[in-house]
Structure 1
Amino acid sequence: MTTIETVSFDLRVSYRQAYLIDVGTMVPEAFPNDHPEHPVGIIRVKDDKALLVTGLHTGKVGFSVAVTDHDPGADTDGYEDIVEISFRSQIGRVWLCEWAGERVHELPELSSGPGWYRLRYHAVNMDTGAEVNSSMDVVVDRYLLQIWPQSVSTPRVVKSTSHQLSYWRSAS
């Protein structure tokens, strides 16, 4: 039987950053480089930590995380940009953290415990979020992160329409 657990919340971002990390670990201290041969730009993984980039510099974005036991399929109709990358969890429980770990959002337990997972990061209105730059009251850009067990595979861009995704794919 297929299981999908989804949580949604407003995520406060600073410096366009949020982090997916194992429960109890620290947020990364440096902005990791993109994959050298297959850049995806808006999500970067290093040392079992993922950095997620938003369009909005400072403020509140809409965020959903869906944890499942299989590939749920990309929402190509609802989002403008979609990228994928592999991620390894050491303990099978992850948090989504705001800037510098100031606030954490508990997520559903990963379906296969410790091991390799695929992250599919969806974004809509990143360009508008970047133009607005700062918004504490109104959600401008929205994100969906899907997580399911999958062995290591090549990062890939599923859909790319925003200038923000193009920019971050070219930034090292």
Structure 2
Amino acid sequence: MIDTALYVQFGSTLPFQQSGMPMADLPAAATDILTWVDDQRLLVVATGTPLGAVAFRVEVTDSEPQLEKQGWDEWQEVSVRFDIGDVRLRDLDADRELLDASLVDEPGRYRVRIYATGRDSGIELQEAGDDLVERYLMHLWPESEPRPATPLMRLQ
């Protein structure tokens, strides 16, 4: 599990990539929260803020959790596949890992659901330790076959 403040990278992103892969190219900006680039084993979270910290929590479960509707503005899902159980937050400008913890411990196919709130707040330059307005919760669970991505869904 990951539960921390993460600093947003260039392009309002949080890029998570399987370790050992060549430096990734960021996908074109989209209105989605989640983008999966299969050949780069790259999962990109698009943030609302271009600069500063956001609250980020990751939970890996054995099966699909129920949809959480309380306290979140929007959600989205994608299917991903990692060849190893080491997937880290990357600084793509400096080509280095920024987080000691991995998203997953085991290789395989996962379904990823992310919840977000505060993406449209317009608040910038929040620091770790502040009461962070922009928050994310990511759930990952094993899946046997990939499914199409879920479009960005509003909860309110």
TM-score, scaled to structure 1? 0.74
Which residue of structure 2 lines up, in the alignment, with residue 165 of structure 1? none
In terms of mean alpha carbon deviation, does 14-23 or 59-68 score higher? 14-23
Which residue of structure 2 lines up, in the alignment, with residue 11 of structure 1? 6
TM-superposed deviation, 1:154: 1.1
What RMSD, in angstroms, separates the aligned Cα atoms of the two structures?
A: 2.4
For 1:29-68, what per-residue CA distance to the aligned partner results, in whole angstroms no more than 9, with x for missing partners?
A: 232576xxxxx71111112211111111100100000111
TM-superposed deviation, 1:94: 1.6
* Higher share of residues assigned helix: 1
Match of 2:120, SS state, is: helix
Q: Is there any run of 5+ residues in structure 2 with no aligned partner, and where?
A: none
Match of 2:70, SS state, is: coil
Aligned pairs (5 A) from 1:123-134: 123-128=116-121, 131-134=122-125
Aligned length: 148
Identity level (%):
25
2:81, 2:97 → 1: CA distance? 23
Q: Is there any run of 5+ residues in structure 1 with no aligned partner, and where?
A: 1-5, 35-39, 163-172
Which residue of structure 2 lines up, in the alignment, with residue 45 of structure 1? 36
1:73 equivalenced with 2:66 (yes/no) = yes
TM-superposed deviation, 1:125: 0.8
For 1:68-94, what per-residue CA distance to the aligned partner results, in whole angstroms no more than 9, with x for missing partners?
A: 121122221121110000111011332
Amino acid at match of 1:157: P
**What is the aligned counterpart of 1:136 among 127, 143, 151?**
127
Aligned CA distance change for structure 1 residues 66 and 77 (closer, same or farther; 3 Å): same
Which residue of structure 1 lines up, in the alignment, with residue 99 of structure 2? 104
TM-score, scaled to structure 2? 0.81
For 1:77-122, what per-residue CA distance to the aligned partner results, in whole angstroms no more than 9, with x for missing partners?
A: 1211100001110113322335544512413644xx3221111011
